Structures are given as structure tokens and as C-alpha cells.
Amino acid sequence: MSGSTPLRLGNPERMVDAIIERVGRRIVVGAPLGLGKPVHLLNALYHRAAADRTLELRIVTGLSLARPQAKSDLERRMLGPIVERLFGDCPELAYVGPYSRNALPPNIRVTEFYMRAGAFLNNATAQQHHISSNYTHVARDLLLQGVNVFVQAVAKRCRDGQTTYSLSSNSDSLDLFRLLDASDPERRVVRVAQVNERLPFMGRDALVSASTFDLVLDHRSLDHDLLSLPAGPVHTADYLIGLAASSLIRDGGTVQIGIGSLGDAIAHALCLRHRENATYQEALRATGLAERCGDSIAAIGGTAPFETGLYGATEMFADCFRHLYRAGILRREVYDDLAIQRLVNAGLISAEVTLGTLDALVEAGAVPSPLDAAAVDHLVRRGVLREGIAFADGELVTPSGRRLSPDLADPETRASIEAECLGDRLAGGSILHAGFFIGPRAMYDLLRELDEGERAKFNMTGIGFVNQLYGHEALAAAQRRHARFVNSAMMMTLCGAACSDGLANEQIVSGVGGQYNFVAMAHALEGARSILMLRSTRTKAGKVSSNIVWSYGHTTIPRHLRDIVITEYGIADLRGRQDHECIAALLNISDSRFQEDLRAEAVASGKLASTHRIPDRHRANTPARLEAELKPLRAAGHFPTFPFGSELTHEEQVLGHVLKGLKARMGRRLGLAGIVKETVGAGLDVPDEALPYLARLGLDRPSSLRETMLQRILVAELRSGGFIRA
């Protein structure tokens, strides 16, 4: 297979035939994580193999997303309309259901390097076939798994008779394509694209030619909505963590942030810092962060508005970056030309092109004077000289045909270049590099609606570029100034090891992803810091446990890479600290219900002096104190449950909170019996203010005894939660 002209088909079944014809009846399919999966093609492969047991199908991928499934009648009533509204006509991956139920046909296997968080605990098949892999190694590991077909969803553009494809949401495939180009000249790994024109067409590094693929599945009937992940609620602990993290991010620096409520909390705090700085400063004072963590904030970050702005270098382009962009914070442009980047960093040039830009480039040795053909071409591509400037017969040629001396020391040449030849702004600036994106519909809409020049500043590229330094160390160091790589952990040991992806019994919760790479990079880059965030406690079946522990049987980040740790109770800077200092710092940001037991374990292990006492100012680490500190700010509207709005209606937001609490109560011993007892004694009246909530769940007019009981339970829960009058 030459790979020069792909075979284009419009039918998934015919595409399966074409794949079998090329690779035979043992098909090992590699697919990107998240949105990049070509759903119709994967479904056709799955259904063919399920119907024909002589076919062997393996799917090697990560993050197989699915519509949420209801586990009760109340959840079904709640989720049904939301799912239809958010997912639209996005088809379901056929293998996800059987895979989740541990019920795949014997000739079909799914192997993931990253799982939906918590979705496959105690699923023997998923656990046994999981690949533990740094994201930067995934392309290599796909090939080691014997992948002979790679499939990808792409966007398409046709101009001047030429068809170009965009890897759109998943430019992380570039790493695999580079490996294949170097090691598979005969194209033994068949590359298949499925076009979905509703994917945002991302340019720059995400652009690939038609010859990248051997087969292309393309038909209008296969276009579909993108899987949408709506924003979740941001609670008090999240806000306190986000507030602390925001104070460690330096103006003019670099940031990596993940998805979820903690990412939204950081983005909200950064927006507050930039737009309403007085309120931001008050929040730091009211929550005690300014007093308890002021030294760390002053040394590492800052609290002033952003004059220069931030640049994003993140494996995942999460929705929080959309909000930073709209707030005018995500705006620091970086360039893939080392000389230009270093001059920008030094303040010798800016994005605005002047004659001084040329002089600085000559002084730095980046271009010669007199100019030559290569230099002119380079300067035009970089936006220093305008489009249409050429070099011929030893002279500069303007679009009007005027010829100039290339000697930049010549006063007449300089005047003419300044008047006729200079560009307006440096070209090729990026405000964000990322490997993949996923988020809510509003995020996809933004990317579609931006003009091409603005969209180009969001440069989707390979994971090998974003997540590590190898092969581009100098450029990465120049671009990623004052980097703050912010990630989440599930648990932290008192000596600074983090557990982020699995449990002590080796059950995998999610996957390593890029966390290790970013932590290691923070130690390799001058001025960079790794920030690991975690909630200090977790609650299961009514029992509260500490997420800061003495030791744990699974480690994602080893203790020798310890750096900054944040909980809702503050900041612990562990870099370069002795073990007893790390233990003391983490005790200070632990929940006070567990501090003394943790201290005793450290003392018993000989790692902390028996005379150590936790300072008084850290002994009131309780949820009640946090709620009290945040209450006035909440009342003023500064820390809402959904800081950037929600795709859920008001009734759905309230019901989501109520049903979550109800589910937690039912999980406790005698929980259901207690709820029924409370409900029976609560009276029969249904207040008018409860009707919108009941109507949303179809329980405003119950038609059975069971529905009546559900109605009464909900009214009682709405009352106890303060959503309707008691």
C-alpha cells in the first residue's frame, strides 16, 4: 500500500470488508482516546466479529466514553432528558456495554491504557487487560500490542480541489504516525479515517494530508454530534483548593490544568484574580490562605491581575482553558522558532513587528545581513516580512516589483523595508499546545466559531511534544517559563508519594495518563513546579476517611518527586525538604479529625520527633470552618455551585444535589428503612413550590403507590435540603 491515494468508501460494512481484505481475520485495532474514536466504523467491526466467531477482534484504546446509565427508576427519570439533550445523535460505542458488564464475546477483547474513572473496578476482564503506560509511551505500546489497523475520526476541508484532513480532537495520533513513518514503509498497519464534519477543524500541527490514510470512510449520513461532558458542581473544598492553586501561578508563565470540578475551581479563581482583584484578595484573607500560606504565594506565584497572561501546555485541552481565554488570561503567545522565542522572553522584541525586530534577529545571529534567499523565506514565514516579499538575483523584491539592496545596514534599504516590507505581527504564535480535547458543547461551538487565525492559536499537536522535553529541550524550556503543572491525586502519603490511578490491591481506577511526565518535567525545567491537588477526605457509606495517609500500597508519583501539595486546608511545599519537614507540612493541611492519629504513626515509625506538635493555626481544619469562611463570599455571588453556568436547568441542578445525597444515605446501613420511616411520618401535603421538581421527574401526578412513595421521599429531601419551605 503506497498511502498516496486513499480508497474512499461511504459504507461502514464495505469498510470492514476492505480491512479484512488487507489484514486478514485477526484484526487488532488501535483507536485514540475520547472523541477521536470513529464510532460507526468501530461498531461495524464489533458487530461483524460478534456475528462471525471466526474473526478475532482486539480493540486497543483508552477512555471509552459512553452515555451515563441509570441504576434506578429515579436516576432514569433524571438522566433520560439530560442525556438526550447533551448527546444528541451521538451514537453509542457498541462494545462499551458488554465490556462494562464483563460480557464480551470470546473472540473480542478490549484493552485500555486509560479507563473511565472508577467504571471498571472489579471488572476482571478490564483489569486483567489494562496496559499501564505513560501517555508518551502509548504509541509505542500500541505497536507492541500488535496493532495492524489504526482508526481515527477526522474533520475534512476541501479547497481548490485539494482535500485536507484535521486530526481535530486527537492530534495525539501524530506520535503513532511518526513511529509508523519511520518503521513501517510498506504500510502493514492500515490507517483508516472516518470523517465527521461536526468535529472542529483544527489547523497547524493537526493538519494531515489525504495520503496519511489508506482508507477513508466518508458519508454525510455518518456525521454526528460530539459526546459532551457538562460541567459538574464545584463544592467548598474544590473552591478552597482552586483558590490556593491560583495563587501559585505566575503572570507570564505556563499552566497545565485537568478536567473536572477542580479545574473549574482554579479557572474561576484565576478569573476572579484577573477581573475582580479586590474580591480575590478578600477571599485569600477570609479563608486564611494569605496568612497561612503567604510566604509560599510570594515566592512561587502571585495575586495581581495578569498583565502578560498565560500560555497553556497541557495534554488535555479542558473547558477551563476556554474560560481563561474568554477572560483574557490565556493570551501569552509562544513561537516554535527558538531565536524568536528567546528574544521575546528577553523583551527585545514583541509580537508587534518593527525594524527593531529585524535588528534583534541579526544581532542574535538568527538571520544574516545582507539577507539571502533562505533568510527572506524564513522572515516571511515568521511574519517579520509581509507576504509577497521575494529574493531574486541578489536583491529584495517587493510585491510591486521594486528591487532593494539586502544590506540591512544601508539607510535607504532600511527606510524602504520599514515603509514597504515589514509584516504587522509575528506569525505562528500559539497560546496553547494540547494533545486532545473533550468538554461541553459550548467548548466545541467556540472552536468552530473562532475565525481561522484565532483558532490557529490553539495548536493541537503530538503528546510527545506537550508532555515531555526530549528532542526539543531548548525550545520547551524557552516556551514553558514559570511552568505550573497542576494535577489531581486520590491519596498522598505523609512522606510525599502520590496515588492517582489505582488502589492498594492493584485495581486500576483510571490510568497514569500524563501525570508522571508532567511531574518529572516540573523537576527538569528551571522555575517550574508540580502541584498535586487532593481533597483531604473522602466519604463512603457515611464513613469519612483521610486521603492523607501514613503509607499506601500503590504509588503513581514516587516520594522523590514530591513538590507542592494542596488540600482545601492550604499549601505544603515539599521540594527539597527533609522527611520530617514534609510530614509536618502535610499534617498542617490534613483534616483535623485525623491529624493526631497520623502524627502518632509518623512518630511510631521514627520519622517525626515525639515532641512535634501541630501548630494551633492548623488545628481547626474542619469542613464547618471552611463553610463559615466561604459563606459571606458565597452570599455575595462569588463562589456559585456552577461558576461558569450549566447546561442543566435549575430544577436539574437541585435534583442532582438531592439525588446524590439520597443515594449516599441509602448506601448506609438501614439507610432505606430510615428514609421510609422519615417519609411516612412527614405528612401528605405536596407544596406548590415542590411541583416543578416533581414535574421534571414525572412525579407531580403519581399513578401508583410506588410513585406516590417516591414523590413523598423527594418532597422530604427537598425540605431537609432547604430547597423548599419546611
Residue 680 has pLDDT above 90, yes or no: no
> Hey, how many other C-beta atoms are within 10 angstroms of the C-beta on 388?
11
Q: Which are the contacts of 601, defined by CB distance < 8 A and separation ≥ 6?
A: 494, 550
Answer yes or no: is pLDDT of 454 > 90.
Answer: yes
Q: What percent of the chain has pLDDT over 70?
A: 97
Q: How confident is the model at residue 670 (pLDDT cuts 50, 70, 90)?
A: very low
Q: Where in the chain is CATH 3.40.1080.10?
A: 7-222
Candidate CATH numbers 3.90.700.10, 3.40.1080.20, 3.90.330.10, 2.40.50.100; the one for domain 236-333+432-618: 3.40.1080.20
What mean pLDDT is predicted for residues 409-418?
91
Please write the tens of the pLDDT for every residue from 44-73. Answer: 999 999 999 999 999 999 999 888 888 888
CB 433 within 8 A of CB 462: no
**Could you tell me the pTM of the whole model?**
0.94
- Residue 592, classed as helix, strand or coil, is helix
Looking at 331-440, list the stretches that DSSP marks H as alpha helix, in order from N- to C-terminal side. Answer: 338-345, 355-363, 373-381, 411-420
Rounded distance between C-alpha atoms, residue 693 and residue 16, angstroms: 47
* Calpha distance 458→546 (Å, rounded): 39
DSSP letter at 474? H
The band of 719, judged by pLDDT with boundaries at 50, 70 and 90, is: confident
Which residues make up the CATH 3.40.1080.20 domain(s) of the chain? 236-333+432-618
Centroid of chain to Cα 142: 22
Nearest Cα to 487, choosing from 448, 530, 449, 445? Answer: 530
Angle at 272 between CA 268 and CA 274, to 5 degrees: 115
User: For 520-541, b where at least 16 C-beta lie within 10 A, e where not — what string?
Assistant: bbbeebeebbbbbbbbbbeeee
Q: Is the pLDDT of residue 599 over 60?
A: yes
In the block, residue with C-alpha cell 478552597: 240
Report d(CA 485, CA 573) in Å as an integer.
14
Q: Mean pLDDT throughout 461-477? A: 96
Specify the CATH number for 7-222; select among 3.30.360.10, 3.40.1080.10, 3.40.190.290, 3.40.50.300: 3.40.1080.10
